[in-house]
Amino acid sequence: MKRWSQFFVPTLKESPADAEIASHKLLVRAGLVRKLSGGLYTFMPLGLRVMQKISQICREELEREQPAHQRPGAIELWMPHVHPAELWEQGPRWAAAREIMFRADSAGSGKGRAKEPEFVLGPTHEEIITPLVKQEITSYRDLPKNFYQIATKFRNEIRPRYGLMRAREFVMMDAYSFDADDEGAIKSYLAMKASYEAFFRRIGVKAIAVEADTGVMGGSFSHEFMVPAEIGDDDVIYSEAGYAANREKATSALVPKDLADAAPVGAVEKFATPGVVTIAQLEAAPYSVSGDTQFKTLVYIGDGKPFLVVLRGNDELEEAKLGSLGFTLFRPATAEEIEPVLGAKPGSLGAVKGTIKNASALAGVFADHAIRLIGNGVTGANEDGFHLKNVNVSRDLAITKFGDFRRVRTGEPCPQSGQPLQSRRGIEVGHIFKLGTKYSDKFGAVYTDDQKQSHPMVMGCYGIGVSRTLQAIIEQSHDADGIIWPWAVAPFQVLICLLDPKLPDAVAMAEKLAAAAESAGADVLLDDREERPGVKFKDADLIGIPLRVVIGGKGLQAGVVEVKPRASKDVEKVELGRAEARLIELVRAASGAQGAAA
RNA sequence: CGGGGUGUAGCUUAGCCUGGUAGAGCGCCUGGUUUGGGACCAGGAGGUCGUAGGUUCGAAUCCUAUCGCCCCGACCA
């Protein structure tokens, strides 16, 4: 039991000026965190307690065996946060990852510094765990293994945001699975998915698993765990039938699978379009070419080489989908880079065979499936001020490969059920990746099988943003007065408000009830401060302890104490003689409900 | 990094346009009256107005630079 007067819960009446969203304001007002600098926060005693509770439940769920997926629990370890830069240079993504990494060299004399960092701060640990496992595991007998840690991560976010939502330093659970083969890796992946689901259920968070892009992490498939919230950074595309995917990854059944290629309507014909450089201008009179029958040609630079992406005029590129092309780094080309390759400025570009000035310079021409709906359309002539019509997809375009590159729109048919797709914002609190052998190949993490054959280990990696989850809980569970903590992660489960700390009978009752609640397994905070009742009630609502017990002079005279769940408006008056038993009953019911959920 | 905004006491802020002794509320300290939803009265402490230059007799206020922070975009747990 903690006594408020001896503890440290600095609450604020007013919201800090730099907090925009409810959860961020409440984090600070309830005394859970204090800001050091942008994206850097101190966890105050109350905030730390919540982190520890979340972490502990996370451990329990990760270490639980998953018999349904034939996988043992994960194993906790602890890795350094300062990483030799060499390891990252050896790994597969140094070029892409270094931009978000802090360097951790000697601060030196202040007179200049080395060009390249010797040490970096870890944004994640694939580059550390893979060499470790290579060194320690060489036999199929030692597989599968899944190692995890709950530790600080460092990312030099260009724009930290919303308190703990996107911080430069944050607490993450990161896990890494190693399997002998692909089948095993899928079992490990599914086992982790099950652990995540149990974890989020137990901490009282409504998180849904959605299909996701693998990003710079690489790998073959992945799911994100999203907490639905307006302030989330991600768009989740879903249908009533159960399909759910990050917008970056989402597809639709817009293009029928059995769509036949259109027959050409005539020869390709050049026509003058002076000054026309946008889809919209070509849609307008006198040209009146609907956007849905125009080809939009975009130029990107992938690992130094230009490539083309062809979309329908009205469709938008979903840039993340270009990740499937296999480039380590890619970006839109500049106008200066485009002209020597295509022969025209942006606005008159196209991918018709024979019109590209320097086609051999291209790393490829990638077309979205949806252009097949056009059949015969209009595109740039690669000559400023001219376009081509009667352009037939299969006859005229120099397509290297078709793929899914367009951003889906709500209302399009769900790829699984055909129902209209919908969209909502979400906070990404967890991510699981099936990595394959991307890292084990690079670092030579191989094992020997029972036939004396050597194989690369098949990996998976998994993250839960612990500090972000903490804030997501507040975002999901608060009202106008403050936080409403779910029982399992509340910094304390029972708050005893001692309205008259000078009244010996009241103090005795408070101590007795505290002991009773503790005996039933609750963490108890006793508000023994010399404050007016109003202050205590406001603070109680603000910090959101799930069960509040009020012991006041008036109540004692009437022979009762009051019990009120934070989430409810109803006060229960309990006779003094029954108070202990009733409190124990309520604590057991609340913890039992959690246990059942787990 | 591009765009927008903002820095005044521990916190929330007024004053800036139109230069002339820096003001309030909360919090804090002392005393008193209070005591079931952020009490009241009296007294008090606390500010190099982000920093550095400049203009001026005089700068929180005008100009320049610089730093921090917040928001929108690209990235992520």
Burial (0-12, 13-18, 19+ Cβ within 10 Å), A116 = exposed
Of A474, A501, A516, the last residue of a domain is A474
Residues of chain A (407-446) having a beta carbon less than 7 angstroms from strand B: 428-431
| Rounded CA–C1' distance between A278 and B75, in angstroms | 28
Q: Which of residues 355-414 of A touch strand B (CB under 7 A)?
A: none
Rounded to whole angstroms, how far apart are CA atoms A163 and A18? 9
Residue entry with tokens 């379009």: A273
**Looking at the C1' of nucleotide B12, which residue has the nearest alpha carbon?**
A14
Q: Is A568 inside a domain boundary? A: yes
Does the residue A25 lie in any domain? Answer: no
- In whole angstroms, B43 C1' to A3 CA is 33
Q: Which nucleotide is nearest to A463 (CA to C1')?
A: B77
- pLDDT category at A595 given cuts 50, 70, 90 is low
CA distance A304 to A298: 16
CATH of residue A302's domain is 3.90.960.10
pLDDT tier at A572, thresholds 50, 70, 90? very high
Q: Is the Cβ–Cβ distance between A562 and A576 less than 8 Å?
A: no
Question: For strand B, is any atom closer than 7 Å to the CB of A541?
Answer: yes
Residue ending a domain, choose from A342, A370, A403:
A403
Q: Is the pLDDT of residue A76 over 90?
A: yes
Flag whether A320 is in a domain.
yes
Strand B within 7 A of A331 CB: no
pLDDT 10s digits, A254-292: 999 889 999 999 999 999 999 998 898 999 989 999 999
Secondary structure (H, E, C), A426-492 = EEEEEEEEEEECHHHHHHCCEEECCCCCEEECEEEEEEEEHHHHHHHHHHHCEECCEECCCHHHCCC
CA of A481 to C1' of B15 (A): 33
Task: Give the residue among A251, A539, A236, A458 at the shortest CA–CA distance from A368.
Answer: A251
Reference A494, options A524, A526, A518, A537; nearest CA is: A524
Contact A430, A465 (CB under 8 A): yes
Q: At residue A595, what is the residue type?
A: G
Half-sphere exposure of A296 (CA within 13 A, CB side): 22
Q: Give A9 CA → B30 C1' in Å.
A: 25
CATH number of residue A226's parent domain: 3.30.930.10
Q: Are A349 and A297 in contact (CB under 8 A)?
A: yes
Asked if strand B contacts A537 at the CB level, meaning under 7 A, the answer is yes
What pLDDT digit, counting tens, does each position of A480-503 carry? Answer: 999 999 999 999 999 999 999 999
pLDDT in tens, A82-128: 999 999 999 999 988 888 899 888 777 665 555 788 999 999 999 99
Its domain, for residue A541, covers 492-597
pLDDT of residue A24: 96
* A171 CA: nearest nucleotide by C1': B77
- Is the CB of residue A285 inside 7 Å of nucleic acid strand B? no
* Residue A247, amino acid: R
And the tokens for A202? 């137990």
In a domain, A321, yes or no: yes
Residues A438 and A338 in one domain: no
A71 & A211 share domain: yes
Strand B neighbours among A 119-148, CB < 7 A: 124
A204 and A308 share one domain? no
Mean pLDDT of A176-201: 97
Percent of chain A with pLDDT over 90: 83
Whether nucleic acid strand B comes within 7 Å of the CB of A18, the answer is yes
Indicate yes or no: strand B within 7 A of the C-beta of A173. Answer: no
pLDDT of residue A110: 61
**Predicted pLDDT of residue A111:** 59
Strand B within 7 A of A166 CB: yes
Element containing residue A581 per DSSP (H, E): helix A576-597
The domain that holds A541 is classified in CATH as 3.40.50.800
Across the strands, what pairs with A71?
A66
In a domain, A279, yes or no: yes
Of A523, A543, A569, A524, nearest in space to A474 by CA: A543
> Are A528 and A398 members of one domain?
no
Asked if residue A534 keeps its beta carbon closer than 7 A to nucleic acid strand B, the reply is: yes
Residue A100 falls inside a structural domain: no
Q: How many domains does chain A have?
A: 3
Residues A168 and A294 in one domain: no
Phi, psi of A596 (to 5 degrees): -65, -40
- Chain B bases under 7 Å from protein CB? 1-2, 11-13, 25-27, 34-39, 68-77
What count of other Cβ atoms lies within 10 Å of the Cβ of residue A441?
15
Average pLDDT, chain A: 93
What are the pLDDT digits (tens) for A220-230?
Answer: 689 999 999 98
d(CA A509, CA A576): 8
Within a domain: A38: no
**Residue A150 pLDDT greater than 50, yes or no:** yes
Say what the pLDDT of residue A337 is.
87
CB A150 under 7 Å to nucleic chain B: no
Can you give the length of chain A in residues? 598
Same domain, A228 and A317: no
Query: Is pLDDT of A368 > 90?
Result: yes
Q: Confirm whether any atom of chain B, the nucleic acid strand, is less than 7 Å from CB of A559.
A: no
C1' (B13) to CA (A17) span, angstroms: 10
Q: A326 and A374 in one domain?
A: yes
Q: Which nucleotide is nearest to A502 (CA to C1')?
A: B35
**Banded model confidence at residue A219, pLDDT cuts 50, 70, 90:** low
Interatomic CA distance for residues A283 and A295, integer angstroms: 12
CA angle, corner A237, sides to A235 and A243, nearest 5?
A: 145
**Measured distance CA(A87)–CA(A120) in Å, rounded:** 10
Q: Which residues from the 291-330 window of protein chain A have CB within 7 angstroms of nucleic acid chain B?
A: 319-320
Residue A132 maps to a domain:
yes
Do residues A53 and A174 share a domain?
A: yes
Tell me the per-residue pLDDT of A302-321, one tens digit each, with 9 for 90 and over: 888 899 999 999 998 988 88
CA of A164 to C1' of B26 (A): 26
Say if residue A527 is in the same domain as residue A584.
yes
User: Which of A274, A326, A279, A281 is CA-nearest to residue A305?
Assistant: A326
Quick one: tokens of A559? 């022979």
- pLDDT tens by residue, A3-13: 999 999 999 99
A435 and A505 housed in the same domain = no
**How much is the pLDDT for A598?**
44
Nearest nucleotide to A431 (CA to C1') is B77
- DSSP SS3 for A201: helix
> Are A178 and A57 part of one and the same domain?
yes
DSSP assignment, residue A103? B
Q: What's the Å distance between residue A10 CA and nucleotide B26 C1'?
A: 14
Range name among A44-48, A184-188, A274-278 with the lowest pLDDT average: A274-278
Give the angle subtended at the CA of A12 by the CAs of A6 and A18, to the nearest 5°: 135
In this structure, the answer to whether residues A331 and A447 fall within a common structural domain is no
SS3 A579: helix
Nearest Cα neighbor of A510 from A550, A559, A558, A553 is: A550
Cα A505 to the center of its chain, rounded Å? 51
CB proximity A164–strand B (7 Å threshold): yes
Element holding A594 (H helix, E strand): helix A576-597
Q: Are A172 and A153 in contact (CB under 8 A)?
A: yes
Please give residues of chain A from 201 to 260 whose alpha-adjacent beta carbon (CB) lies under 7 Å from any atom of strand B. 215-217, 224, 233-234
pLDDT at residue A335 is higher than 90: no
